[in-house]
Amino acid sequence: MATHASLAALFPSAFARAGRVIFADAVRDHQDEVYGVALRILGDRDAAREAASAAFLKAYRSWDRYDQARPVRYWLLRIAANEAISVGRSRTRERARTTSVEDAARVPDTAQTPDQVLVAREERERVRAAVAVLPELYRVPIVLRYFSELSVEEIAAVTGRPAATVGVQLLRARALLRVSLEARP
């Protein structure tokens, strides 16, 4: 029995006309960005992997209900952002049961990704810490705008909020970040 990917390879023009997105192609094309969004929201590699896996599992289970007329990128990023928020909340509850907030804040993040190597370590830590303490309402739009480089309209599509609301949230988030970064040495 032939899979969608092998059929697409055999009959590319038929699949192009149909405009159907194959789940495996969607995963391959967007897995790094889905993981990146989860990582920026959560700030923890293990939690980001957990959120990205859960996002793709959720997307796979609902693939038959996905509207092929809409961009798959935004659909996957919305699922990823929601899963990252869920994982973050559950890990926060778990951490509150096992350790104090002060102890958790002192645990250093020693792992590095290639993009982090390019950024000066001190500045990266300052910005990451400032973004991490933002309220969830502001943290998600900041991550999607500045780390995933989505436009305000795209963020509105991912989060399901009006573009005007996203714009206001970004303005308030930048003001909070500015105050936080100016206060830190």
pLDDT digits (tens, 9 = 90+) for 66-86: 888 889 999 999 999 999 999
Question: Of 14 and 185, which is predicted with more confidence?
Answer: 185
pLDDT confidence band for 1 (50 / 70 / 90): very low
pLDDT at 13: 47
State yes or no: pLDDT of 156 exceeds 70. Answer: yes
- What is the mean predicted confidence (pLDDT) over 32-54? 92
Sequential DSSP letters for the chain: ---HHHHHHH-HHHHHHHTPPPHHHHHHHHHHHHHHHHHHHH--HHHHHHHHHHHHHHHHHTGGGS-TTS-HHHHHHHHHHHHHHHHHHHHHHHHHHHS-HHHHHTS------HHHHHS-HHHHHHHHHHHHTS-HHHHHHHIIIIIS---HHHHHHHHTS-HHHHHHHHHHHHHHHHHHHHH--
State yes or no: pLDDT of 105 exceeds 60. Answer: yes
